[in-house]
Amino acid sequence: MLRQAGVKVTQPRLRVLSCLLEAQAALSHAEIESWLSAEDAGELDRVTLYRVLDSLVGCGIASRSLDARGVFRFMLKSMQLAHAEHAHFHCQRCGRVFCVASMPVPTPSLPTGFVGISVALEISGLCPPCA
Amino acid sequence: MLRQAGVKVTQPRLRVLSCLLEAQAALSHAEIESWLSAEDAGELDRVTLYRVLDSLVGCGIASRSLDARGVFRFMLKSMQLAHAEHAHFHCQRCGRVFCVASMPVPTPSLPTGFVGISVALEISGLCPPCA
DNA sequence: ACACCAGATGCAACATTGTTGCATCTGGTG
DNA sequence: CACCAGATGCAACAATGTTGCATCTGGTGT
């Protein structure tokens, strides 16, 4: 993936990628950091992780979004596409994101001249543990 | 408004409220702070401003949302309600936001245990001039 | 008009998230 | 194998938001 995207294949990038590949949901910087620090390979520098994530987003491998607390979360672009069809629930307290399969994203009906590229249906509130 | 909401009527709250009443858009903490510091009455403590905003949101007078950078912005609930029922279109090129009256926000149908507080339908794309 | 007190304010210190500068290291290329 | 653009690691900084605590004040009962 990295080679295809035209960026250098480095240890940190491979580790972060494998993390995103395994993830079930969009991960925050802090979550990736603690996940990686549990590995044998040891910790990854905080700043390096920020820059690795920037580069993955920049070359189109990953996508960046905001959770309800205003924290950036990352997921593979390929996975993100699979989540474009239903709503997402953002917990205002813990920041976790849940898929709401029961709420499909409506097809855009835009005024003439507007070109829709993506639609997102975002619900804010409290998840069961936090409520 | 404050008395009706059942909270104490204090100087800081009145100053922040008048600020929000005049505002054309949702304001960030920093914007309100610099606006207030230009007044004759002098500066308002940073922390007090956070707590005033919390109390206004808590008693239902104001509402809190996130901008694209992950910064909280505040506006009067009365103004926000006028925008809660329809979708918003964000132009990826010029950044402008348009109301899409033709796309109503669906009523949430959440799994048991989840408490929904707000729903937003956000479309990204290109507006007529940019397309 | 006065005293009281829950809640609001102001200050200091801290926490979290994200960024910048710079010296060093390394993946890819010739 | 040597080179170098770009990646990494470290330190310091910046922006945003939170907590603890002493003091002050708006509202209420007297």
List the domain boundaries for chain A: 2-80, 84-125
A98 to chain B nearest CA, in Å?
A: 10
Query: Please, which residues bridge with residue A98 across strands?
Result: A89
Average pLDDT, chain B: 92
B131 has a pLDDT exceeding 90: no
Edge-to-edge strand order for the sheet containing A62-66? A27-28, A72-76, A62-66
C-beta of residue A54 within 8 angstroms of C-beta of residue A42: no
Q: Report the candidate in B52, B102, B30 with the shortest Cα–Cα distance to residue A112.
A: B102
Give the Cα separation of A69 and B72 in Å (integer): 9
pLDDT score, position B34? 95
Radius of gyration of chain B (CA): 17
**pLDDT value at B90 more than 90:** no
Ordered per-residue pLDDT tens for chain A, 131 residues? 999 999 999 999 999 999 999 998 899 999 999 999 999 888 999 999 999 999 999 999 999 999 999 999 999 999 998 899 999 999 988 888 899 999 999 999 999 999 998 899 999 998 998 87
CB B88 within 8 A of CB B120: yes
Beta-carbon separation of A123 and B100 below 8 A: no
Q: Is A115 exposed, middle or buried (0-12, 13-18, 19+ CB in 10 A)?
A: middle
Task: Give residue-wise pLDDT tens across range B102-119.
Answer: 999 999 999 999 999 899
Q: Any idea which fold B2-80 has?
A: Arc Repressor Mutant, subunit A (1.10.10)
Nucleotide nearest to B10 (CA to C1'): D26
How close does chain B come to A19, measured CA to CA in Å? 24
Please check whether residue A56 is in contact with residue A13, taking contact to mean a CB–CB distance below 8 angstroms. Answer: yes
Q: Which long-range contacts (CB under 8 A, 24 or more apart) does B38-46 make?
A: B39/B15, B41/B11, B41/B15, B44/B12, B44/B15, B44/B16
Element (H, E) at A18: helix A11-22
Quote helix, strand, coil % in chain B, to nearest 5: 35, 30, 40
pLDDT at B93 over 80: no
Q: Which of B 38-67 lie inside 8 A of A, CB atoms?
A: 66
Q: Going along B1-131, which residue ranges are E strands? A: 27-28, 62-66, 72-76, 86-91, 97-104, 115-126
Looking at the complex, does the CB of residue B82 fall below 8 Å from at least one CB of chain A?
Answer: no
Cα angle A63-A68-A71, degrees, rounded to a multiple of 5: 55
Closest CA to A87 of A111, A74, A114, A105: A105
Q: Is the pLDDT of residue B92 over 90?
A: no
Nearest one of B116, B99, B41 to A68, comparing CA atoms: B116
